[in-house]
Amino acid sequence: MNILVTGGAGFIGSAVCRLLARNPANRVVNLDKLTYAGNLASLREIDNLSNYRFAKGDICDDVAVLDLLRAEKIDVVMHLAAESHVDRSIDGPAAFIETNVVGTFRLLNAALAYWRELPSDAQRRFRFHHVSTDEVFGDLPFDSGIFTEETPYAPSSPYSASKAASDHLVRAWHETYGLPVVISNCSNNYGPYHFPEKLIPLVILNALDERPLPVYGNGANVRDWLFVEDHARALELVATKGTPGESYNIGGRAERTNLSVVETICEILDGKRPRRGGARYRDLITFVADRPGHDRRYAIDPSKVERDLGWQRQETFETGLARTIDWYLENSWWWQPIRAERYAGERLGTVKGAA
């Protein structure tokens, strides 16, 4: 297949590109604007492969996107390009509306124009896969409930509202114009190449720097954690085997409180990279004022993607977290420039990016 991955230099997108490009039968085209979270170093292992191409561009430029679809004879669009950090959406929501809503609208228009030009057999094969988040569903009580594909949307932040809007646009382009779309909604991802402002890499790297480990409120908020490489395998299945018009929830069956995630990282680091003087990393945990609209709990039921597409996670939270910590310990070449150039001074020790 010829596959266009938007946002392929981001965390999840780069994992998808690495997975797809390992199959020589695929042609992978990575379209990315290279904003703050885009990093071509995450694609170093596939950069020289003949079946992989990087194209710098903006999904809001529908003319350029249409030209790229035609030139590469794309069979599948996997749309991952998005602004995705809740704290940033609270500070500056305009970029989230522009990329997540307007960008998806323009990408849909380009895909529809391209799809209408295809011969009938190619139209039947074509898929537009929109990758979304469980945050569109709002939050759950601490002690009951789970998100399914039928859960009503109730977004709480500018980020989740922008993703909910994009989900609705994708469904509308299917219902109104017949564009063959599939949608997936995932739980919190973690793993190698995760941008350092996100919770797990932030805690790992702050701990190694002997900086405070900020935790919102009392740390009781619960997230369902999904190892990024497991997610990438699920996305490939949804894009290639999913039924047009359907949505698929992808989760790791690994609910943890934010505080327990931070404490587990501290315990693993105590064994792998002990602090000087015998102090424990958990002594660096610092509770800070909660952020506005902080959802209590996310929990995803992945039964449909397991049943219909045969996906199963390969990593438990414990094995995935250990792999992730080992990766950050062994790959300072990737994260040190980001810390030095983009998050110099005290910024990574502040509330932004807290658990």
Q: What is the pTM of this model?
A: 0.94
Check: CB of residue 28 under 8 Å from CB of residue 6.
no
Q: Compute the Cα dihedral for 1, 59, 105, 168 and give only its sign.
A: positive
Catalytically active residues are 134-135, 159
First to last CA, the chain: 39
Rounded to whole angstroms, what are the CA distances from 134 to 30, 32, 233, 330? 24, 23, 18, 31
Between CA 190 and CA 140 the distance in angstroms is 21
Cα-flanking dihedrals φ and ψ of residue 27, to 5°? Answer: -110, 115
Q: What is the pLDDT along the chain (355 residues), one digit of tens a residue?
A: 999 999 999 999 999 999 999 999 999 999 999 998 899 999 999 999 999 999 999 999 999 999 999 999 999 999 999 998 788 889 999 999 999 999 999 999 999 999 999 999 999 999 999 999 999 999 999 988 999 999 999 999 999 999 999 999 999 999 999 999 999 999 999 999 999 989 999 999 999 999 999 999 999 999 999 999 999 999 999 999 999 999 999 999 999 999 999 999 999 999 999 998 889 999 999 999 888 878 899 999 999 999 999 999 999 999 999 999 999 999 999 999 998 876 554 444 433 455 5
2-195+224-255+298-315: CATH architecture = 3-Layer(aba) Sandwich (3.40)
